[in-house]
């Protein structure tokens, strides 16, 4: 509905530079490619499927790792498929979880069909109504510094619906082997010894 102005690759790069101990779950498709384009990282868990589950995976991680900040970066189509997760996260109120939805108003991976957000579905309003500590729609580059400070220091749960251009970006694929991605993430998070137990 609104004119999307932001470049998704730049948004993700800004959020993930100097990422320190941040744990990242990337929704399938373009969001995962965006995270990889910003630099493949063992503490990023990119999904190759599980559409609709990114937020719940991030939520579980936030509960398991209460001292670490957790960021879910996903698409509007993926978020719409798992909308109920916002109610659960709002009810549980994890203080270390942020969700950034890169809202291009399209199902990019399957041919750029328009999603519900193109017809006015307001995901930030849904998150706010579910009890998130903060829920914002982000339309301009000047707001990204605020998103970044929320993600790294802002408590939670936080929700940012970032309106981005629908232009396709070049594919930058993460490793594809799910077992490898899981072991690599656990090792980087827990250390080799604990991860093997
Ligand atoms: C259950 C399920 N339904 C459909 C698909 C096919 N699919 C893969 S990615 C995708 C679109 C993702 O759209 P969005 O999350 O908005 O990402 P973006 O537009 O940023 O690529 C679809 C429909 C799937 N992988 N799993």
pTM of the model: 0.97
pLDDT tens digit sequence for 38-81? 999 999 999 999 999 999 999 999 999 999 999 999 999 999 99
Give the position, in ligand 1's atom list, of the atom nearest the Cα of 52: 1
pLDDT of 4 > 80? The answer is no
> pLDDT at position 147, please?
98
* Ligand 1, atom 4, residue with closest C-alpha: 51
- pLDDT tier, 197 (very low <50, low <70, confident <90, very high otherwise): confident
What does residue 12 show for φ and ψ, rounded to 5 degrees?
A: -70, -40
- Integer Cα distance of 94 and 75 in angstroms: 21
pLDDT tens digit sequence for 7-36? 999 999 999 999 999 999 999 999 999 999
Greatest extent of the chain over all pairs of C-alpha atoms, in Å:
50
Whether 108 is in the pocket of ligand 1, judged by its Cβ within 6 Å, is yes
Higher pLDDT pick, 130 / 5: 130
Whether 30 is in the pocket of ligand 1, judged by its Cβ within 6 Å, is yes
pLDDT tens digit sequence for 81-110? 999 999 999 999 999 999 999 999 999 999
> pLDDT at position 40, please?
97
Whether 174 is in the pocket of ligand 1, judged by its Cβ within 6 Å, is no
pLDDT of 1 > 80? The answer is no
Question: How many whole angstroms from 129 Cα to the centroid of ligand 1?
Answer: 25
pLDDT tens digit sequence for 158-179? 999 999 999 989 999 999 999 9
* Ligand 1, atom 9, residue with closest C-alpha: 109
Computed over every residue of the chain, the mean pLDDT equals 96
Whether 45 is in the pocket of ligand 1, judged by its Cβ within 6 Å, is no
Question: How many whole angstroms from 27 Cα to the centroid of ligand 1?
Answer: 9
| Complete DSSP assignment for 97-130 | EEEEEEE-SEEGGGT-EE-GGGGT--HHHHHHHT
Q: Mention every residue, 6+ apart, whose C-beta is less than 8 A from residue 149.
A: none
3-state DSSP assignment of residue 150: helix
Whether 103 is in the pocket of ligand 1, judged by its Cβ within 6 Å, is no
Question: How many whole angstroms from 120 Cα to the centroid of ligand 1?
Answer: 19
> pLDDT at position 3, please?
58
- Residues 18, 151: contact at Cβ < 8 Å? no
- Residues 77, 115: contact at Cβ < 8 Å? yes
Whether 82 is in the pocket of ligand 1, judged by its Cβ within 6 Å, is no
**Beta bridge mates, 134:** 158
- pLDDT tier, 5 (very low <50, low <70, confident <90, very high otherwise): confident
- Integer Cα distance of 82 and 148 in angstroms: 24
């Amino acid at each position: 509905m609104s004119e999307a102005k932001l470049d998704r690759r730049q948004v993700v790069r800004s959020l993930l530079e100097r990422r320190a101990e941040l744990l990242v779950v990337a929704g399938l498709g373009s969001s995962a490619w965006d995270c990889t384009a910003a630099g493949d990282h063992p503490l990023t868990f990119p999904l190759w499927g599980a559409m609709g589950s990114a937020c719940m995976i991030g939520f579980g991680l936030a509960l398991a790792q209460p001292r670490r900040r957790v960021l879910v970066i996903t698409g509007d189509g993926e978020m719409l498929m798992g909308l109920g997760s916002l109610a659960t996260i709002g009810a549980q109120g994890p203080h270390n979880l942020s969700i950034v939805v890169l809202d291009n108003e399209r199902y990019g991976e399957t041919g750029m069909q328009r999603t519900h957000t193109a017809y006015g579905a307001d995901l930030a309003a849904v998150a706010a109504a579910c009890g998130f500590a903060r829920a914002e729609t982000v339309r301009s580059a000047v707001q990204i510094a605020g998103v970044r400070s929320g993600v790294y220091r802002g408590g939670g749960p936080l929700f940012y619906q970032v309106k981005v251009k629908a232009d396709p970006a070049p594919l930058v694929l993460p490793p594809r082997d799910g077992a490898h991605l899981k072991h690599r993430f656990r090792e980087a998070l827990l250390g080799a010894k604990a991860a093997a137990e």
